[in-house]
Chain A
Amino acid sequence: MDADDKISKAARAALARQYQPYLEAEWGFKNSWYPALFSAELKENEVKGVTIAGHEIALRRARGQVYAIRDRCAHRGVRMSLRPTCLTDDTITCWYHGFTYNLSDGILRTIVASPDDPLIGKVRLRTYPVAERAGIIFLFVGDEEYLPPPPIEADLPIRITDDQNPVAHILDENVYVRGIHRLGNSNWRLAVENGFDPGHLLIHWDNLIIAATDRNLGLGARPIAEDAIKIIDEPNGPKGMMNMYNTRSYKFFGENREIGMKARGKHPYYARTSVFLPGLLLVEHWPVPAWAQYEWYVPTDDKHHEYWEVLVGRCASVEDRREADYQYEHFFEPLALKDFNNNDLFAREAMQSFYERGGWNQETLCAFDDATIVWRKLAARFNRGIQESPYRLAAR
């Protein structure tokens, strides 16, 4: 090893230390709002189980309202959502031995076959704050003592104001919100870092939507000025960063002569991409101008994430919605959310076993990876706590 190598190794170690909390966040950041289900996925009286950052949570809608409670019966640890049993409007009952809990505060209300049991009123399952907004059920996942939870706006993208034709915010009135979510077989951080990666256009240059719209995304982009990455740090609001692809601060490479490769497409198309805590993406003017794609990479456990792809557009009238439905079903979902983003999901999964086996200290980052490092540093600073591994918690 020569002297230069030693220096760069030391410099890298110092840099990595700055984002050490991010490296520790295998199970995600806690004390954050995460999407759990689309509203339409939880009908009246239905019970469904989700896992977010290792927290197993049962959701039930009763009289329209959604409740979230720990999905493990205090008695023998049964996952209650596996065989939903609800005997009243305000309780959930474990299907195995009949432990019945209040939905509102989680207190053990009765035991079906032991109505005078001394445990009644004493035992409690923790509950989770719920916010149902824009057709999505969000949960505040983390420490029970984190009260009150911050407003959900703090864990959503900023409202865009610096654009002639700003895309809608998901909480705006008269918006159309529709999308899909599915399991990704990789750690959530690999997913976030893929979302805004300026160097990853190679996997997209020949996708159906690019060919069909005759767009030129380039082969990759590299920040060349200080303002290429804009830090977002709103007091009590969103924290994150914007990749200013729409400015000259990013240099796009459309051609590589060494290997004779050239990006196709007549129309250069640079969609600004932003990433926010706890790990969500905003792509403006995507998949078509005036629309926005939101993505969440919700940590499930340390090796999986729930990949949420949601499109947000303005729709004032019934006709607008009908047209949006048609566009969504015949264009946006198959070409953008599926064909295009399938490549992203594939790429994240291709890295998983490397990162699982110490890759965080073995990667070799290059000139277009500035954005990745800036994100890691910001994430290390602005998270509201690192979710501890449930295995480690159990060992205490």
Chain B
Amino acid sequence: MSAVEDTAARPGARNVTLRFEDGDERRIRVERDEFVLDAALRQGVPLVHQCRSGSCSTCIAQLVFGDIVMAAERATSLLATEAAEGKRLLCSAYARADSEVRLHYPAALIDGAEQRMILAAVAALEWPSPTVAKLTLELPEDSEFSFHSGQYVRIKVPGAAEWRSYSMASTARESPRMAFLVRILSGGVVSEYLRGSCRLGDEIMIEGPMGAFILHSSRAPQIFIAGGTGLAPILAMLDEIRYRPGPRPPMLLSFGCASEKQFFYRDELELRQWWMPELRVILSADQVDNADSELLRATPVAALEQERITDPQTVAYLCGPPPMIEAARQRLIEMGVAAEHIYAEQFVASAIEKPDESA
């Protein structure tokens, strides 16, 4: 509270209104040389964020009015198309005038949200494809760890110094168990652990929950586009919709992998289609060798070529590598999906990790 008054008189400080999806709003003062996110955290508004360096895109927000600019001294993951739509990464943005930004999540997400570190145990390790591992962790019974479908945690495997981020492929309903899909990368700390010393019962530190890639309450048609292990948060969202109150919306999932050999979870998606007649699924792979393959030879974005939308309120959720997100966003806007109804989570491999070509 006092922080607001102390800075109120200083020249160059701006008022920024943070408007949440549920209509709730918070006002903060942002100093001239201060990032908007830092100002919010300093004033007790724990906006969703993670890297604080402009790379993870977790803190993305929509400028409603005013002037908020991205820091010129930082290279960030904000796409040119997103910047043009008025998207800003608050961790790396300055306020140049009194402004308002819209957050794509409800205030409720941060009100009760508490990020914690918990020691979990490896409960299962399965291999849906040669390049994808499904890791199931079990949290202590009394941990009461809760999260929204689509969110992620950071993981530190035994012997590793670094943390890695993974979205939950399961919902909070399944707690105390949490499932993750890990793309196997040669040299990857988690990959090497899973292929090597991982044993049931191993203790793994997790920190979270993180991220604002969550379902929004809309009864409009939903489009999901997932590439590779980007399916994880999408799967959790589909399962969440299955149990959500009220009628289910029409849903379309376009899921693609790099090659037919690496394709995984066809059976899991068939099950969800059986359980939800409202769900249509398009499966694709960039590389398809088998002539009678049921997979479309395409990217999950190109696979949408024939698709049209009928409802301007259509909502889209995207998860995969940045080029896929960019292409998907363009395609969806061409189809007539409103930019503010497109929610995305980027999956980025750490710099030294490379897709495993040997698998």
Interface residues of A (CB under 8 A from B): 17-18, 20-21, 31, 143-147, 377, 380-382, 384-386, 388
Contact = CB atoms under 8 A, between A and B. Distances in A.
Q: Which of A20, A21, A146, A386 has the most CB of B within 10 A?
A: A21
B277 A18 contact: no
A381 B274 contact: yes
Contacts of A386: 243
Contact of B245 (A17, A20, A146, A381): A146
A147 B271 CA distance: 27
Contacts of B277: 381-382
B245 A18 contact: no
Contact of B275 (A145, A147, A380): A380
Q: Which of B242, B246, B277 has the most CB of A within 10 A?
A: B246
Contacts of B245: 143-146, 385
A146 B246 contact: yes
B247 interface: yes
Given A385-B243, A385-B245, 14 more contacts: A18-B271, A18-B274, A20-B275, A21-B242, A143-B245, A143-B246, A145-B245, A146-B246, A146-B247, A380-B274, A381-B274, A381-B275, A386-B243, A388-B243
A147 B275 CA distance: 21
A17 B275 CA distance: 11
Interface string B220-252: 000000000000000000000011011100000
14 contacts: A18-B271, A18-B274, A31-B247, A143-B245, A145-B246, A146-B245, A146-B247, A380-B274, A381-B274, A381-B275, A381-B277, A382-B277, A385-B243, A388-B243
Nearest to B247: A146
B331 to A, nearest CB: 30
B8 to A, nearest CB: 36
Contacts of B247: 31, 146, 384
Contacts of B246: 143, 145-147
Contacts of A147: 246
A86 B14 CA distance: 59
Contacts of B274: 18, 377, 380-381
Interface string B37-50: 00000000000000
Chain B interface main SS type? helix
| 5 interchain residue pairs of minimum CB distance | A143-B245, A145-B246, A146-B246, A145-B245, A143-B246
Contacts of A143: 245-246
Contacts of A380: 274-275
Interface in B242-291: 242-243, 245-247, 271, 274-275, 277
A17 B243 contact: no
Interface in B79-119: none
A17 B246 CA distance: 24
A21 B271 CA distance: 11
Q: Which of A145, A146, A388 has the most CB of B within 10 A?
A: A145
Nearest to A377: B274
A144 B274 CA distance: 25
A258 to B, nearest CB: 39
Interface residues of B, number: 9
Nearest to A148: B247
Contacts of A18: 271, 274
B275 to A, nearest CB: 6
A202 B139 CA distance: 50
A185 B242 CA distance: 30
Contacts of B243: 385-386, 388
A249 to B, nearest CB: 24
A25 to B, nearest CB: 12
Contacts of B242: 21
Q: Which of B242, B247, B271, B277 has the most CB of A within 10 A?
A: B247
Nearest to B146: A396
A388 B246 CA distance: 13
A388 B243 CA distance: 9
Contacts of A146: 245-247
Contacts of A382: 277
A147 B219 CA distance: 11
Nearest to A382: B277
Nearest to A386: B243
Contacts of A21: 242, 275
Contacts of B271: 17-18
Nearest to B245: A143
Contacts of A17: 271
A146 B243 CA distance: 13
B192 to A, nearest CB: 31
Contacts of A20: 275
A388 B173 CA distance: 11
A21 B245 CA distance: 15
Interface in B283-340: none
Nearest to A381: B274
B263 to A, nearest CB: 19
A145 B219 CA distance: 11
A145 B246 CA distance: 5
A223 B132 CA distance: 42
B179 to A, nearest CB: 15
Nearest to A233: B277
A384 B276 CA distance: 9
Contacts of A381: 274-275, 277
Nearest to A146: B246
Interface in B118-159: none
A20 B271 CA distance: 10
A18 B274 CA distance: 8
A143 B275 CA distance: 19
B147 to A, nearest CB: 14
A345 B243 CA distance: 32
A386 B245 CA distance: 10
Q: Which of B242, B243, B275, B277 has the most CB of A within 10 A?
A: B275
A381 B242 CA distance: 11
B72 to A, nearest CB: 47
A379 to B, nearest CB: 11
Contacts of A145: 245-246
Nearest to B270: A18
B149 to A, nearest CB: 15
A296 to B, nearest CB: 23
A20 B242 CA distance: 13
A145 B243 CA distance: 13
Nearest to B172: A396
A147 B243 CA distance: 16
A208 to B, nearest CB: 43
A381 B270 CA distance: 12
Contacts of A377: 274
